[in-house]
Structure 1
């Protein structure tokens, strides 16, 4: 049996998907209610086919509705519950539901041990959801609670997630203060050393804040003993900032400090040169790497294939790719993507599509990079028909593209007067349980309204608001203008109410519409 407090176990007859209803057998037992385990198993099986139900649970519904729908209704086997908890948090993260749902869901699991065992993965996902939306106060509250109740869940990755986002959105001093709070308030009793120092350095390097990273390194190097990982983190930061000269200067500095480069060091340097179109220097470093008895990894070869593509050296790209099995390596998605990118850059889109088919034949699934690269090439070479052909294949494979690909496709469809494809993409994402990015809605609303399809624009906007995502001010004003023109003030009132309700529970992290300015017109 699973136990919920009376206030938490709400109504019976909760709608599950496809009209199925589960008549909860709720029996009162003191201050608790008991839900029959067989019923829970039945609900679970109904729910876990896909993530559409998760995304359909709107921000206005209480967390227990989220839970009753099946999010925590798993068999009482610790390993299974652990994995399912992480699975659901991953879905909440990917479909961009309000972060408070993830927090409430995690806390419910935390407060109902041992029925819903927690893992460090679940904590990390919850912190990521909160931090990416800049709800740092909630993240700190959660960390303090975990420090008191479940300190075994605290990991360096959890620290890294929070510090990296603070470095991104707040000041240098705020990040140092956050590191101090981690040491004194969260990881209580733990002696901070090189590993924790590396997390702090990485927080700045991951945001390409190399001035701050160097400042922290010089300020704290006397307290913490840096290792080769510290050096590689800094080297990677210089590489990501696009300054190959700084990469080489720091490389020589680390050698002077007595650190011996490893294969990771060489991979970073090779990537730095390749991205600056210095492919010959990349090959030189490959020879130097092998001369020091460091075996190239698949990442090394992938980097060089990509570098060959940047300088339009297709012959070398193919040679490096074909040499992969000769080096006792196995081509992965990254290697195929590098070759596809090289072919697309040379406008050999036919060969690029053939390579993707070869991937699939070898049971290597195309990922977001594969599709984005191919769509970019098709837009330049084959136009709307070529893009539509790959788009239909992508849908047939049930693949959900990343945000940047969604925005690129939505823009292309709308610019080419294919609003049918724009709506198709929107509906496909919603059907799959994903809430499209606000910029995708901006493009679609603009395209629909400009062609007299304000009703469709309203429905898409409503779907986004129901999923806890704010509309942009531009999209709202566009839709407002066309609905007013159609004298459809009822829909405007509905949007206003939904926007205000969302703002009351989820203040926008960036500038969004704050309400409707047409009230005087209505009244």
Structure 2
């Protein structure tokens, strides 16, 4: 006996939504799209839910244009996108930093009379926050509340996070109190945002209180929060406290990552403990932490300050072989190190190399070169560099003026030095003691 099953019946029995979900998860998007075409061809009902699953799969594979085409095609057949569909596409465009795409989705939502839900507002609020538009963050949050859309913990966390990023912890804590009063329960991300805010403000006691509170509520401290605490302690110069947190983090089963590596190294370096910073970096690298450009640059800086240019160059080449592209900071560290030791030929070669790589020398590059020329008495070359900075329109800073004024003063060229002093003060820059000492000294040499 042969059982005949029509294609229409077979596709219906297969339950399209489940099949779309399975194909999406197992990376068989072409099969998924083919399934949709067959369903449409045989007039099998396709729901907006299954459509959204396929669109989500396409977006996750960076095929946003294909997702849009599919949405338009399905809309022409009567399957209209809903708010979840649009949220999926908005999220995809935000991740691509395609703001025109975001605005086009918002326009289509208006045309289709699809109302925002809390997830839409969360996406848009986070987008505006990442663009530095905190006023728009607050406006959209207020608009959402006025429309009677119930705020959830996710949107509260986003608004808290961006207020903390700009240092407005007072507003962040007011929002925290508000969500608590509404019966919402803060999660690890909410606490993480607040802890980041107070750490950036240097309020480590407040950070400790928040950590204790979240643990009391049964929330585990994650690696991001541990690293935030380490960074906070390092910025306050409390390196011993930073190491205590790092030890606790390890005991909790978290491995030191690149952020831990660089944060502690930077903390030690700022405390003028270069040997300890070098030892820490080398030890962690030996333990398997893969260094990045920041790690290499820190080590290169330490070796340059030691005058160990052989090791600095070795690390520079090692970084490039490992696939790390030196940035302006890396080159400036090397140029500064060579300049201060009178190795001006090497310094200029590095300046030329960074130019060849499309990295434009900045004010720090020129200041290092200018300082090197001044140290070793090549004032005419220093003045030429200073004039070049002006011609390029780079923003002169206190360090640049101090270097050239000190160099001119050292050679008894007091008239030029005082002229630059006047220019410096007129630009709103405040001279330091070194400038005044140099100017007084120049009068004795004039």
Q: Give the TM-score category using the shorter length.
A: 0.5 to 0.7
Pairing 1:420–2:346 present: yes
Shift of 1:420: 1.8
CA contact (8 A) 2:347 2:369 kept: no
Instruction: Return the alpha-carbon distance in structure 2 between the equivalents of residues 161 and 278 of structure 1.
Output: 35
Instruction: Return the alpha-carbon distance in structure 2 between the equivalents of residues 179 and 119 of structure 1.
Output: 13
Instruction: Return the alpha-carbon distance in structure 1 between the equivalents of residues 172 and 310 of structure 2.
Output: 42
Residue in structure 1 matched with residue 441 of structure 2 by the alignment? none
Alignment of 1:424-435 (within 5 A): 424=350, 427=353, 435=358
Residue in structure 2 matched with residue 158 of structure 1 by the alignment? 93
RMSD of aligned Cα (Å): 4.3
Pairing 1:292–2:214 present: no
CA contact (8 A) 1:208 1:240 kept: no
Alignment of 1:72-83 (within 5 A): none
More helix by share: 2
Residue in structure 1 matched with residue 125 of structure 2 by the alignment? 201
Pairing 1:359–2:258 present: no
Instruction: Return the alpha-carbon distance in structure 2 between the equivalents of residues 309 and 396 of structure 1.
Output: 28
Deviations 1:475-505 (A, max 9, x none): 89xxxxxxxxxxxxxxxxxxxxxxxxxxxxx
Instruction: Return the alpha-carbon distance in structure 1 between the equivalents of residues 121 and 217 of structure 2.
Output: 29
Alignment of 1:447-462 (within 5 A): none
Whose radius of gyration is greater, 1 or 2? Answer: 2
Ranges of 4+ aligned residues in structure 1 off by more than 6 Å:
149-153, 186-191, 444-447, 450-453
Residue in structure 1 matched with residue 54 of structure 2 by the alignment? none
Residues 121, 404 of structure 1: alpha-carbon distance in 2 compared, 3 angstrom cutoff = farther
Which of 397, 403, 410 aligns to 2:319? It is: 397
Deviations 1:420-451 (A, max 9, x none): 24534753796xxx53246489849987xx99
Question: Residue 397 of structure 1: SS of its match in structure 2?
Answer: helix
Instruction: Return the alpha-carbon distance in structure 2 between the equivalents of residues 147 and 446 of structure 1.
Output: 53
Pairing 1:474–2:392 present: yes
Instruction: Return the alpha-carbon distance in structure 2 between the equivalents of residues 299 and 247 of structure 1.
Output: 19
Residue in structure 1 matched with residue 205 of structure 2 by the alignment? 280
Residue in structure 2 matched with residue 436 of structure 1 by the alignment? 359
CA contact (8 A) 2:94 2:127 kept: no
Residue in structure 1 matched with residue 105 of structure 2 by the alignment? 182
Which of 220, 227, 232 aligns to 2:144? It is: 220
TM-score, normalization by structure 2: 0.56
Instruction: Return the alpha-carbon distance in structure 1 between the equivalents of residues 59 and 102 of structure 2.
Output: 23
CA contact (8 A) 2:118 2:149 kept: yes
Question: Residue 366 of structure 1: SS of its match in structure 2?
Answer: coil
Question: Residue 209 of structure 2: SS of its match in structure 1?
Answer: helix
CA contact (8 A) 1:429 1:435 kept: yes
Structure 1, unpaired ranges of 5+: 1-78, 83-117, 125-142, 167-177, 458-471, 477-523
Residue in structure 1 matched with residue 229 of structure 2 by the alignment? 304
Question: Residue 320 of structure 1: SS of its match in structure 2?
Answer: helix
CA contact (8 A) 2:335 2:369 kept: no
CA contact (8 A) 2:118 2:144 kept: no
Shift of 1:187: 11
Residue in structure 2 matched with residue 39 of structure 1 by the alignment? none
Alignment of 1:85-234 (within 5 A): 120=60, 122=62, 147-148=68-69, 154=89, 156-162=91-97, 180-185=103-108, 192-221=116-145, 222=147, 224-234=149-159
Which of 271, 295, 305 aligns to 1:383? It is: 305
Alignment of 1:483-498 (within 5 A): none
Residues 396, 162 of structure 1: alpha-carbon distance in 2 compared, 3 angstrom cutoff = closer
Residues 120, 296 of structure 1: alpha-carbon distance in 2 compared, 3 angstrom cutoff = closer
Shift of 1:341: 2.4
Q: 367-376 or 222-231: which moved more?
A: 367-376
Deviations 1:300-321 (A, max 9, x none): 1111112221222222222221
Residues 334, 225 of structure 1: alpha-carbon distance in 2 compared, 3 angstrom cutoff = same
Shift of 1:242: 1.8
TM-score, normalization by structure 1: 0.49
Residue in structure 1 matched with residue 188 of structure 2 by the alignment? 263
Residue in structure 1 matched with residue 19 of structure 2 by the alignment? none
CA contact (8 A) 2:297 2:333 kept: no
Residue in structure 2 matched with residue 87 of structure 1 by the alignment? none
CA contact (8 A) 2:188 2:214 kept: yes
Shift of 1:262: 0.8
